[in-house]
Every structure is written in C-alpha cells, then in structure tokens.
Structure 1
Amino acid sequence: MNSLNDLSSASVLRFGPYAFHLRQRLILEGDRQLRMGGRALDILQVLVERAGRVVSKERLIALVWPTSVVEEINLRVHIAALRRALGDGENGQRYIINVPQCGYSFVAPVQGDSVPQVAFETLQAPQHNLPARLTPVTGRDSLIGGLVRQLPLSRLMTITGPAGVGKTTVALRAAELLLQHFADGVWLVDFSQIDSSTPLLEHVLRTLDTDFTTLTACHALLVLDNCEHLREACRGLLEKLLGAAPRLSVLATSRQALQVGLENVQQLPPLAIPKSTALNSVEEVMSHSAVQLFVSRARARQQGFSLREQDLKAVRDICRRLDGLPLAIELAAAKIDALAIVGVQAQLDNCLQLLSHGRRTAVSRHQSMKAALDWSYGRLSDAERQVLQRLSVFKMAFTLDAAIGVISCARLPASTLVALVEQLADKSLLSVERRGAVLRYRMLNTTRRYACEQLAHSGELNDFERRHARYIDRTRWASGVQLAV
C-alpha cells in the first residue's frame, strides 16, 4: 500500500509565461495578474502539482470540494474558465487536456523555484478501490458533510438503516470526499458475498493486497460494507484492527449497530416527503429530497420529463407509499417511460412487482426491492420471521400492547414477543416512534407488503387479519365505555 507523498514545497510554479505563486494564491503573466476564482485556482494547483499525470474527475472533485456534494458539470465549468484564462490552445500551446473516460492532465512543462522538476514526477495519487459513481447523490448533503467532519476524529462510524435507504451510497460518497485526508488511502471491503466461515481479517488483507504489519502502520480509512450478517466476527475484527492500528479509521454499513467500543452510530432516515398540505407549487414540492430523486431519475429515463402542477399529488403519493426509500423511488422512476406517472401510481398496490428490476450493473441485492428485503429476511431467525409476518397485519403504528393482543399465543408468550419486537427494531425492520411516554412501532410499507406475502404463503394471513380486526373492535368498545363513564 503506497502512501501519498507530501506535496512539493515549491512556493512558485512556473509554466509557459505564467508564474503561480502558491502562498499568495495568484498567477502572474509577466507583471499582469490573471483573475481567477478560488475554485479555479484550487483545480489548477492540483493539476500543476501532478503535471504529466492524469487526475480523475472524481479525485479532482474530492480535493477541491472536500465537504460538498458537487456535480461533474461544476468541474467542467471551472476547467473551461481555466483554459480561457490561460489561453489554452492559442499559438499551439496546450496546458490542460481531457483524457476521455479518465480525467484531466496538465501537459505543459512545470518548474518549481525551490525544488527540481523531478519532484513532480514522483508524486502519487491517493490509493483507493472505490467504484465509479454513476449518478449524483440526492438529499444527503448535510448528513454526508457531517460524516466527513466527524470521521477524521472518530475511529469507528456505523451507518444503520432499513433495506433500500442508501447506506452504501452515503458511505461511498463520504469516502470519496475523504480521499485527500487519509494519506494511505480509502479502501472498500464488501462483506455481502462472504459467510461466517471466512476469516474476516484475511479477507480484508487480501482486498487491500497488504499484510497486517503494514496495515497497522497506515493512515487509512476502511469502508466495511454489509456487516449485519457478520456482527460477531466484525466485532472481533474491529477490536483487533482498532487496537493495533492507531491511525486507522473505519466507516461501516449495517442494518443494525455493531455494538463495538468506540462506535458512533449514524442512523440514515428515508428521504423527505412533502406533507399533503405542501402541494401548492412545483417549487415547493421540489424542495423535498424524495421528489428531487424521483424527478432526477425520471429525467434520466424519459427525455424532456418535467414535473407539472397536475402531477404533484400523484408524485407525492408515490414517494409516500414507497416510504421515501431511495432504492424504491429509483426503481419506480425507471418505469416512467413505460407507465407514466399515473401508471406507476396505479401499480403501487403491487409495489414489489413494480420494483422488481433495477440497474443490471448493480449488485444483486440492489437490483430490486424484493432482493434487498430478501437479504434482510434471509438472515432472521425463524421466530423473528414469524413475528415480522404476523405484525404485517398492522397498517398503522402500533404499541407493544397491541402486538401482544393480536399475535401472542402459547408458543409466543408476551415476554418472548417483546424481545423479538425489539430485535426487529434493532435490525431496522421496524421503526420506533416515541409519543410522550408511549413507544410505537411502525413497519415501512414496502417491508409490510413483503412480510404480508410471506404470511399469506404460510396460510395464516386470514386468521391474523381476523384477530387484528377483533382487537381493534375491542379497543374501540373499551374506549367508548371509558368515554361514557
């Protein structure tokens, strides 16, 4: 694992007729100062200090905008401004070239006043194995900015949340923005394809192509993705790594907290959905991140797509019934060209079939909402599956008393049921709402429909729907008696 060498100590970089004074942050052409914005100067410095080498677009964005989510178009605008200011291409002199599918390179000879030119050629880019990001990240700017600020100070951060909420997406974007901070790189280790029989430390070292001694001396960030099914093994791995490697930080994703010393947990909520009273204008609705994502992905599928006032209620309904989950919204928006907005809305009663096909380039658990839920469901105990299925008869938030009143039985006594409900909440299959002193649990609509299908397959659906209806009737009757008294 190679570390990033320190940047050159040269105070003035010279190329063509220009002198770039780094400390004063100005560029002179003879005695004339070139006027450039701060971001353009940052980009130029990154490229000039790596003269002759290709710098990826992702790397440029991570260095120049370390705490912001920025689209590639911003980078292209600044590159174009730089070229104009330098007269790039005039009189046959080229400074910045675009290397298709790779990035940008500064191609003019560069000299530094206080170091020999060879120093520029020995610089190395930060090491990483992060995948290329195919689409922008929507609605997570504040949360990602918080992660970027906290991670250099925190040894272990775990992002938790339900299936499809975007844990991996957020972790990878934060990792991109931290590339410049960790001298020995940012490394993704995916645990989704391995089981408990695989030694985790061996898997990590193989992914990084290094040995344990080298790793313990590194200033690096490890992104451990999909830890939920290996919690015990992950705890052992993290205790060993964090104890032996004082400059190592870890960003983990898991559907439940790992419960390791030093762990800070960041729960990832669904995207923001407009309230039913906030449908007054397109601009107002578009201020909500769930709608922003839906429109962005719809435009990618249907050229010329735009949100109209007559669409606001339907789009809000789509985002609400898909729980504000990014994966579900993306999959629904992908059907726009075939079904249009009204067609997508009409299919929501059969949402798991509607959300059955996503990007073929995505990992299997991200290709459909059902696959994402299969991943969670397949890792539950038999008792947890049984409780999840039976709780699917609750279409609204419910208390523990209600759960006990509807689904407990001789084989599932109240004490056992309470523990199982708490376990399902810990695994992000139930969300928890506190109203005063009362705790309520709620199942996301997509999860409820999935669990309801499993309950139907078990043959118990009609029985528990009747039990739920009887419980509701008894509760209403008791409330009526109390009111009368």
Structure 2
Amino acid sequence: PGGIGKSRLALHAAQERVVDYLHGIHFVSLASLETAVAFIPMLAAALNIPLDGKQAPEEQLLAALRPREMLLILDNGETLLTAATLSAADFLPRLLQQAPQLKILATSQERFNFPGEYIIDVDGLPLPTRGADSAAIALFCTRATLAQPDFILTPANGPAITTICRLVDGSPLGIELAAASMRTYTPAEIAAEIAADLDFLDSQQPDAPSRHLSLRAVFNYTWRHLLPEEQETLKR
C-alpha cells in the first residue's frame, strides 16, 4: 500500500550497502511516468546518460549500463505496471541479463513477477499491545513533538494515541498526518475525528508529494495505477 514507508526503507537499505557498489547507488523516481515511451529517456536522464539518437535509446542505455557495478533504486515501480506503461517494464529483465553486476531495488505497490524476483512485503508498523513498546507509538510521539514541542506521552493520552495508530492500521503516513494535527487538537479529538471521517487526515506541507497529502490521495493514486480488470474486480 501507499504511505507505508517503502521509499524510506529502500533508501535506508541502500545506505547500508553503499560500499558494495563500485559505481554507486542511483535513485530514480518513477512517480511521474505515464507512458511506456517516456521510461527510457526518464531513466537515462536520471542516470546522466546522454541519448544521442545514433541508435535505439534502449540499446544506447544498455551499452552504457552493461559494465557498471551499481544499485539502481526504482521508486514507485507500480507506474510501470499500468496499461499505458506495461511494455516498458520488459526492459528491466533484459537490463539485468546484460548487466550482471547491476542490481535493481524497486519499491512498488504491485509485484513485477519477473524471473528471480525477490519480494519483501512491507506492512504497517506493529500496532501497540499491552505492556509492550510500539514503533507506531514512538513515531507518533516523535512527530507530535514537532507540532507541539512540550508534548509528552502520558497514561492519560496513551489510550487515545493507541487508538489513532489502530485506526490508521499502523500506516506511517497516517500516523505522521495524525501527529501533525497536535498543533490544534488533543489525541482524543484526533482519534474521534479519524473515526468519524478518514479525510480528516491531510498534509499542510507544501513540498509533500501530491499522492501523500492525505490517505484519500494515497487511495486515489493506487486506484489510478490498477489495471482496468483489477479495478473491475474491486468494484464487485
């Protein structure tokens, strides 16, 4: 699902392995990809590989990447799996075959189903349980102090914060949006508002990606990137 922290996790994992790749780690956001024909130029531009038109763009990109020992992070990989872009995804298995020292780490809301693909499912943060520490609660408290510097977790507000984390199913984005509301609401008020209407959660950050402005925006983004037959199945 969207807003679950896939991009952040990929970047953290890459930082742990940065010394393993002679030609470094390269991050490419595919969030704006809408057509198959745009994929190769987008990838080449992000990798600073000029396409001079003397040969097919795919061949030129393959020639440039073939000898490289690098990690390529493709963020928002689900944009390669829409009806308009699906043919572009075929380039990736070809790239991996011809560039044996190049590795791809893709974040995606859908599986590519390529041969040899290794899948790591990323779920929400573990929900609070009685008497146990919780990553969800810790994230809320960290973000809440940005909105309200004197905020502290207490036995009085703890149950409401637990409810908030459960209402957003441990979604890091949902937790961060809820914590940002601490500027004007108490935890109990936030929990009540979310329970009444999930659209209560939205971002006031002007630099936030449009797909992360609210949980509703996450849903709409995910819906747009489903294949028509997948949308029809979910409508039933």
TM-score band, normalised by shorter chain: 0.7 to 0.9
Q: Any idea what the Cα deviations from partners look like across 1:46-73, whole Å, max 9, x if unmatched?
A: xxxxxxxxxxxxxxxxxxxxxxxxxxxx
1:268 match: 122
Which structure 1 residue ranges, 5 or more long, are not aligned?
1-161, 391-485
1:229 aligns with 2:83: no
Q: Any idea what the Cα deviations from partners look like across 1:85-142, whole Å, max 9, x if unmatched?
A: xxxxxxxxxxxxxxxxxxxxxxxxxxxxxxxxxxxxxxxxxxxxxxxxxxxxxxxxxx
Q: 2:224 aligns with which of 366, 378, 397?
A: 378
- Which secondary structure does the structure 1 equivalent of 2:119 belong to? strand
Which structure 2 residue ranges, 5 or more long, are not aligned?
50-59
User: Taking structure 1 as the reference length, what is the TM-score of the superposition?
Assistant: 0.43
Is 1:298–1:305's contact at 8 Å kept on the other side of the alignment?
A: yes
Q: Check 1:307–1:165 CA distance in 2 against 1; reply closer, same or farther (3 A cut).
A: same
Is 2:211–2:218's contact at 8 Å kept on the other side of the alignment?
A: yes
**Identical-pair percentage:** 30
Greater strand proportion? 1
2:39 match: 200
- Counterpart-to-counterpart distance in 2, 1:304 and 1:337: 11
1:235 CA drift (Å):
3.4
Q: 2:181 aligns with which of 335, 338, 345?
A: 335
- Counterpart-to-counterpart distance in 2, 1:208 and 1:381: 29
Q: 1:297 aligns with which of 136, 143, 148?
A: 143
Aligned length: 221
Is 1:184–1:218's contact at 8 Å kept on the other side of the alignment?
A: yes
- Which secondary structure does the structure 2 equivalent of 1:223 belong to? strand
Q: Which letter does structure 2 place at the counterpart of 1:207?
A: A
Q: Which letter does structure 2 place at the counterpart of 1:258?
A: F
1:217 aligns with 2:67: yes
User: Taking structure 2 as the reference length, what is the TM-score of the superposition?
Assistant: 0.86
2:7 match: 168
- Which secondary structure does the structure 2 equivalent of 1:310 belong to? coil
Q: Which letter does structure 2 place at the counterpart of 1:255?
A: Q
- Counterpart-to-counterpart distance in 2, 1:333 and 1:266: 28
Larger Rg: 1
Identify the structure with bigger relative contact order (alpha carbons < 8 Å, sequence gap 6+).
Answer: 2
Is 1:358–1:368's contact at 8 Å kept on the other side of the alignment?
A: no
- Counterpart-to-counterpart distance in 2, 1:234 and 1:292: 40
2:100 match: 246
- Counterpart-to-counterpart distance in 2, 1:205 and 1:381: 26
- RMSD (Å), alpha carbons: 1.9
Q: Check 1:366–1:305 CA distance in 2 against 1; reply closer, same or farther (3 A cut).
A: same
1:344 match: 190
- Counterpart-to-counterpart distance in 2, 1:217 and 1:223: 18
Q: 1:324 aligns with which of 152, 167, 170?
A: 170
- Which secondary structure does the structure 1 equivalent of 2:118 belong to? strand
1:381 CA drift (Å):
4.8
Q: Which letter does structure 1 place at the counterpart of 2:20?
A: H
